[in-house]
């Protein structure tokens, strides 16, 4: 796979420079770190929200920095957890005294490094708490995870916890609402082509011209089933069925996210959405919000994921709350 980069070793540094150069009114980089923060951080009296992880998931996570979403994104190397000292820098930069919540996708490296940073911050007198997102119903454990992986549903945690924090909620209240989202959000993905980590130079797995892989992660991890490429309707059905079998969505209202993994045209995501909406209607599940686009990618992987989040009046209002984050279209 061809890459429009300079030196693979500096791709993440170059990306951060290009990102902050693009949006200097909204974002700044903490000098000497891979931490990007909201320009006006720390926001007085507000709980600070920090997320992040490996690079390659853009627009996650820096694209979700802004009023009503995140205060900082810690940027690791491609598909590699950021180190604890980097996470600590982010915590220190966004703490206004009201405490900091870490929103962590469930990968062993991320959990370990964010937790270590939390301990270091607490030793410096900063109140820190964390939530771990594990929305992917495809696999119970994987090479990179104990328990379920965190994927696109994480963006809905950012949005809702971010809105709650912006309204002046306490650290406990922000954590509680994030946990409520995590309890009600489920996702699953499919790939029709793998991606290539720049420094590796070869695809993470190979699929034949007529194959797809169900249940993939967002780091080129293998999925659960390799099969013949089927129609958008069949793919949507398989993903949605697995999600609906995992959590009881009966009589629920849901927010839907159809997320592109990197190289799938928006046209195809809308075609998938059309079927998903039909399936939900058949199950008499009402849809409050739909988000279609690239929210959490895996470099140029082809494919998509479906996410459903159970919503109530409180979560719907928080989804509707204004956000200035660049990549959260609403």
Q: Smallest gap, in angstroms, from Cβ of residue 250 to its own copies?
A: 21
- Binding flag, residue 291, its own copies (CB under 8 A): yes
By CB under 8 A, which span of 40-48, 87-95, 166-174, 226-234 interacts with its own copies?
226-234
- Binding flag, residue 39, its own copies (CB under 8 A): no
- Binding flag, residue 202, its own copies (CB under 8 A): no
- Binding flag, residue 91, its own copies (CB under 8 A): no
Burial class (CB in 10 A: 0-12, 13-18, 19+), 281: exposed
57 classed as catalytic: yes
Bridge-based pairing state of the strands 185-193 and 253-260:
unpaired
327, 63 Cβ separation under 8 angstroms: yes
Distance CA 75, CA 72 (A): 10
- Binding flag, residue 80, its own copies (CB under 8 A): no
Q: Smallest gap, in angstroms, from Cβ of residue 47 to its own copies?
A: 25
Nearer to its own copies, 244 or 326 (CB): 326
By CB under 8 A, which span of 9-17, 31-39, 113-121, 168-176 interacts with its own copies?
9-17
298, 57 Cβ separation under 8 angstroms: yes
Token pair in block for residue 198? 């720049």
Per-position DSSP letters for 231-269, written without gaps between them: -HHHHHHHHHHHHHHHS--TT-EEEEEEEE-BSS-HHHH
- Binding flag, residue 326, its own copies (CB under 8 A): yes
Nearer to its own copies, 178 or 327 (CB): 327
- Binding flag, residue 35, its own copies (CB under 8 A): no
- Binding flag, residue 220, its own copies (CB under 8 A): no
Q: Smallest gap, in angstroms, from Cβ of residue 159 to its own copies?
A: 15
According to CB under 8 A, which residues from 130 to 189 bind its own copies? Answer: none
159, 323 Cβ separation under 8 angstroms: yes
Closest among 61, 1, 29, 134 to 296, alpha carbons compared = 61
Q: Smallest gap, in angstroms, from Cβ of residue 14 to its own copies?
A: 4
Count Cβ atoms below 10 Å from residue 278 Cβ, excluding itself.
14
Per-position DSSP letters for 121-168, written without gaps between them: HHHTT--EEEEEE--B-S-SSBTTBSSPPP-THHHHHHHHHHHHHHTT
By CB under 8 A, which span of 84-92, 141-149, 242-250, 293-301 interacts with its own copies?
293-301
| 240 backbone dihedrals φ, ψ, rounded to 5° | -70, -40
According to CB under 8 A, which residues from 294 to 313 bind its own copies? Answer: 294, 297, 299-300, 302-304
Q: Smallest gap, in angstroms, from Cβ of residue 122 to its own copies?
A: 33
With a CB cutoff of 8 Å and minimum separation 6, the contacts of 209 are none
Candidates 10, 61, 158, 219; catalytic one: 219
- Binding flag, residue 65, its own copies (CB under 8 A): no
Counting residues that bind its own copies (by CB under 8 A) gives 64
Query: How would you list the strands of the sheet with 185-193, edge to edge?
Result: 225-228, 211-214, 185-193, 302-311, 253-260, 286-293
Nearer to its own copies, 144 or 233 (CB): 233
325, 63 Cβ separation under 8 angstroms: yes
Nearer to its own copies, 141 or 324 (CB): 324
Candidates 10, 57, 61, 283; catalytic one: 57
Catalytic (active-site) positions: 57, 219
Binding stretches for its own copies (CB under 8 A): 2-6, 11-12, 14-19, 21-23, 55-56, 58-59, 63, 78, 190, 192-193, 209-210, 212, 229, 231-233, 235, 258, 262-275, 277, 290-294, 297, 299-300, 302-304, 326-327, 329-330
């Amino acid at each position: 796979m061809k890459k429009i980069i300079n030196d693979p070793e500096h791709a993440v540094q170059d990306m951060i420079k290009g990102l902050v150069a693009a949006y200097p009114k909204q974002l700044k980089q903490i000098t000497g770190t891979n931490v990007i923060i909201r320009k006006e951080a720390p926001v007085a009296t507000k709980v600070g929200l920090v997320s992040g992880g490996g690079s390659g998931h853009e627009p996650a996570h820096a694209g979700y920095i802004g009023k009503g979403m995140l205060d900082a994104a810690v940027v690791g190397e491609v598909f590699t957890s950021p180190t604890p000292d980097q996470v600590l820098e982010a915590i220190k930069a966004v703490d206004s005294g009201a405490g900091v919540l870490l929103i962590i996708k469930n990968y062993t490296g991320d959990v370990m490094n964010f937790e270590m940073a939390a301990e270091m911050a607490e030793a410096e007198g900063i109140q820190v708490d964390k939530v771990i997102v594990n929305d992917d119903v495809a696999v119970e454990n994987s090479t990179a995870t104990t328990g379920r992986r965190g994927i696109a549903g994480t963006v809905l945690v950012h949005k809702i916890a971010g809105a709650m924090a912006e309204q002046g909620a306490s650290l406990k209240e922000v954590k509680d609402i994030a946990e409520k989202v995590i309890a009600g959000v489920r996702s699953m993905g499919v790939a029709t082509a793998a991606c290539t980590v720049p420094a590796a130079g070869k695809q993470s797995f190979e699929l034949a011209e007529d194959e797809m892989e169900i249940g993939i992660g967002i780091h080129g991890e293998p999925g659960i089933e390799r099969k013949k490429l089927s129609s958008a309707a069949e793919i949507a059905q398989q993903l949605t069925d697995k999600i609906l079998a995992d959590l009881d969505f009966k009589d629920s209202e849901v927010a839907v996210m159809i997320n592109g993994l990197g190289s799938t045209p928006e046209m195809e995501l809308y075609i998938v959405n059309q079927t998903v909406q039909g399936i939900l209607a058949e199950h008499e599940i009402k849809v409050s919000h739909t988000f279609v686009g690239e929210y959490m990618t895996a470099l140029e992987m082809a494919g998509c994921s479906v996410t459903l989040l159970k919503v109530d009046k409180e979560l719907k209002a928080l989804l509707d709350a204004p956000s200035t984050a660049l990549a959260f279209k609403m």
